Structure 1
């Protein structure tokens, strides 16, 4: 999983490739992300990088995104620098990418997806019970009811397995967020629904979230980044809805970005409190309080003594 700082470097490098035609920043970013050359037959780090690049390209406005062939050229040049022939790299990367493709209507792909999902669920169980560092691939294979070789067929390493487990959950959140943020709801209904799916996401994935925070804290930053990215991608639509709400007198005329980042900090403070209490209650129970504070504050103005 690529960390928060590398994510930002990657986004900047992609923009520079698009706007200036300069491949060097992207090439340098790839080198940093990959580190030393992966061992023979280990295409996992390359595929993780490609998936991250594709996700970034999909989120970028068309005017800022570089042509995909240019990005591929840079990836291949870095592979060759690390002693991986282009043909070998493409073959191994394509094979692993195809194994990660969601199921279609054919029986064979469904079976592959079932096996992969079973391994992911087993990994979540083992990671939750023993922590990431103490978990072993043998234990995960045994819990999934498959051979260790089968686990390595889908995931090149324990790090790669954990990365894909987190990525799968983040994609669930992203799909749900897209439906809400692209809807025709008014801005207050949109915020309410988004808070609902966001809190429900943590409730469903509390075991994974604990492991992330305790042993991979940089992934918690990635969740916050996703929250920001999904909102910021839809700024034009949101601004229109906010303008309409202001025009109707529903919203005050305050700085959007100041309010947005303040709200984000408040929400994640609520989530951190829930985590500190060992997730002993449903996070969704906090929704009514969060909604009340966000929409109406916590001060009863009529009972406030404003005198000197």
Structure 2
């Protein structure tokens, strides 16, 4: 393909498609190099566009970085909720939600790096975007815990605390796996993780005969 043909192909891409390509490229570069060591030239090169094209969509590096983090959070939400929402059983929703959550980070390990960089570089600006997402979507998960209590399938404990602790456990699990570099895949351990979260670590009580 000639340079002229390549340029024509670029020009005919819809703006939203081009924006998605830039965000995908930015996610790779930011995760690889870190926020401070990344420049717009490198992202443009990764996306296969001119730097001016990147600036047409994003006014500066900070704007692009935050859009990249927001896209990662949106992708996580879509990946989990698109599978969970059609289900009716709250227990199956929780089970599948855990599985999809762990699988997402297995497939997108750089997302952890983006979350770390957001906290490190912009800690005084606002609440991290992941926790903004939790505030928005947490109620749906709390209601699933409430439904389990109403159905008598969960002990009468705080659904709000249960949801918060489940979330913190999973968030910590994917971070520790990524940062340690030598722990087994959490996605491969989904069944064991679900078992521990649902049943705890203690053996069922037995009655002496």
TM-score (norm 1): 0.54
Q: In structure 2, do the counterparts of structure 1 residues 192 and 234 end up closer, same or farther at CA, with 3 Å as the change threshold? A: closer
Post-superposition Cα deviations, 1:67-86, rounded to whole Å, max 9, x if no partner, equal: xxxxxxxxxxxxxxxxxxxx
Are 1:239 and 2:142 matched, yes or no? no
For residues 182 and 287 of structure 1, what CA distance do their matches in structure 2 show?
19
Q: Which has the higher contact order (CA 8 A, sep 6+)?
A: 2
For residues 27 and 13 of structure 2, what CA distance do their matches in structure 1 show?
21
Instruction: Give how far 1:287 is off.
Output: 1.4
Which residue does the alignment assign to 1:158? Answer: 61
Q: In structure 2, do the counterparts of structure 1 residues 260 and 122 end up closer, same or farther at CA, with 3 Å as the change threshold? A: closer
Preserved CA contact (<8 Å) 2:30 2:38:
yes
Matches within 5 A, 1:187-206: 187-206=90-109
Q: In structure 2, do the counterparts of structure 1 residues 271 and 155 end up closer, same or farther at CA, with 3 Å as the change threshold? A: same
* Aligned Cα root-mean-square deviation (Å): 2.8
Which residue does the alignment assign to 1:121? Answer: 24
Are 1:143 and 2:46 matched, yes or no? yes
For residues 284 and 143 of structure 1, what CA distance do their matches in structure 2 show?
29
Aligned residues: 191
Q: In structure 2, do the counterparts of structure 1 residues 114 and 289 end up closer, same or farther at CA, with 3 Å as the change threshold? A: same
For residues 48 and 197 of structure 2, what CA distance do their matches in structure 1 show?
47
Instruction: Give how far 1:146 is off.
Output: 1.3
Are 1:216 and 2:123 matched, yes or no? no
For residues 254 and 156 of structure 1, what CA distance do their matches in structure 2 show?
48
Instruction: Give how far 1:110 is off.
Output: 5.1
Preserved CA contact (<8 Å) 1:141 1:151:
yes
Q: In structure 2, do the counterparts of structure 1 residues 295 and 209 end up closer, same or farther at CA, with 3 Å as the change threshold? A: same
Partner residue of 2:186 out of 257, 267, 283: 283
For residues 36 and 47 of structure 2, what CA distance do their matches in structure 1 show?
19
TM-score (norm 2): 0.77
For residues 12 and 82 of structure 2, what CA distance do their matches in structure 1 show?
27
